[in-house]
Amino acid sequence: MSKSNIIAIASPPASEFDADAVRHQRFKVYTAKQLDQIPQLQQLSAERRFEMQVVASVLPFRVNQYVIDELINWQQVPADPIFQLTFPQRGMLKPEHYDRVAEAMRNELPAAELKALISDIRGELNPHPAGQLEHNIPMLDGEVVEGLQHKYRETVLFFPSSGQVCHSYCTFCFRWAQFVGDKDLKIAARESNQLQDYLRAHPEVTDVLVTGGDPLVMKTRNLRAYLEPLLSEEFDHIRTIRIGSKALTFWPQRVVTDDDAEDLLALFREIQAAGKHLALMAHYNHWQELEPAIAREAIRRIRDTGAQIRAQGPLLAHINDDAKVWARLWQTQVELGIIPYYMFVERDTGARHYFEVPLVKAWQIYRDAMQQVSGIARTARGPSMSSHPGKVEIQGVTEINGEKVIALRMIQGRNPDWVQRPFFAKYNEDATWLNHLEPAFGEERFFFDD
């Protein structure tokens, strides 16, 4: 691709960051109970606002004032991608689920009965995909370790109890069950020493991913209490600390103007001074998230600590199922010093029917986007399914011995011997997840099915 074409997809220069203009911003959030208090929604019809209330009674809803004022183009609503990313839409519930809840709300069903109905529907939405509760929960001394997941040998996921919320919620989120107030569906650690005890017993673990929710909703002193112990010599086998967060989109003030922003940046420096690699796993879904000046200032400040920012996000209908969107997103990230890391496939949970894109189409979008950027922006792996056996990458469509097939590769697996192993599935242009695929060449099962 020519240099002129690459420049054409690059975003325009952002306006210069004005600290005084944002210094006094305070975090203000709206939940389902405050939907009717958002002035911008008054431009929508009463019926559409009712639809939003119905969906928000089943799937979690939370949005803050920064997202409303700075990220959404209200002249483009409902098509605006950030509006779709944060506000409930009728299609996010299957018709039969929507009709049941809408009728109940119109008929003012008693609260207890409505709650039971909603609970039943949530149970049908596969609240914990890929064996999160059945196969990923580790044991120590014969007891379950709460708030940890250990799916891959080298990496442990840690869910601090005070980080199981986000500055805003994504409508597609595969961890939506964390946010609906049902204790049976929530993953969270009860004590900080659980993580330390488990890591002492597992020296093969090199990476700790602090996730949620969003760990950066916590005050720095709380995050420090979890991470500082890992900086001691006792945990020399921990080489990388990752923090999964969407704060750079939903509340960049967290590292710029919040009261403890400087303390957070100091913590980042301390982690690296202790010889650890710190990676902020930033979630991005559209280039609009990178446009505000404060968002770019937040990126600059984090990079100044020496931390590395890696960007990941799923391919989503209604939001970013367009190669040009991904090309601009990746190119802009590179210009800002962010490493494009993953394009995911929407998981088989929650509102997946609204957001899912067929695997073949996903690969075509990925390929077209890659063709529009230079080599330095081609670091994003994908499209990748975070499935039960591991992360499966769609590598393309080809023909072998007269049979049209989908080529795949296991880029991470429950069994380390599976990593980087290629395999093939029968061509299926409608498949949206691994369980929709069948082995090619007459094979009865995939190698990981055993």
Residue 171: its pLDDT value, please?
A: 96
Please report which confidence band the pLDDT of residue 129 belongs to, taking 50, 70 and 90 as the band edges: confident
Q: Taking the complete model, does pTM exceed 0.95, yes or no? A: no
What average pLDDT does the structure give for the chain? 92
Mean of the pLDDT values across residues 303-313? 98
How do residues 264-295 score in pLDDT, each as one tens digit?
A: 999 999 999 999 999 999 999 999 999 999 99
Instruction: Assign 134 to helix, strand or coil.
Output: coil
Mean of the pLDDT values across residues 237-250? 98
Find how far residue 128's CA is from the centre of its chain: 14
Helices (H) and strands (E) in the chain, counts: 15, 15
Q: Is 127-306 a domain of CATH 3.40.50.1220?
A: no
Mean of the pLDDT values across residues 285-313? 98
Does the pLDDT at position 21 exceed 60? yes
Question: CA 293, 286, 398: angle at the middle one, nearest 5?
Answer: 145
Distance between CA atoms of 395 and 247, rounded to whole angstroms?
31
The conformation of residue 71, written as its DSSP 8-state character, comes to: I
Distance between CA atoms of 424 and 408, rounded to whole angstroms?
6
Q: Provide the b/e sequence for 340-354 (b: ≥16 CB within 10 Å).
A: bbbbbbbbbbbbbeb
Distance between CA atoms of 248 and 447, rounded to whole angstroms?
39
Task: Name the residue ranges covered by the structural domains of the chain.
Answer: 26-124, 127-306, 345-449
Residue 9: its pLDDT value, please?
A: 45
Mean of the pLDDT values across residues 124-130? 79
Does the pLDDT at position 97 exceed 60? yes
How do residues 374-409 score in pLDDT, each as one tens digit?
A: 999 999 999 999 999 999 999 999 999 999 999 999
Closest to 336 (Cα-Cα) out of 7, 38, 6, 13: 13
How do residues 146-186 score in pLDDT, each as one tens digit?
A: 889 999 999 999 999 889 899 999 999 988 888 876 665 56
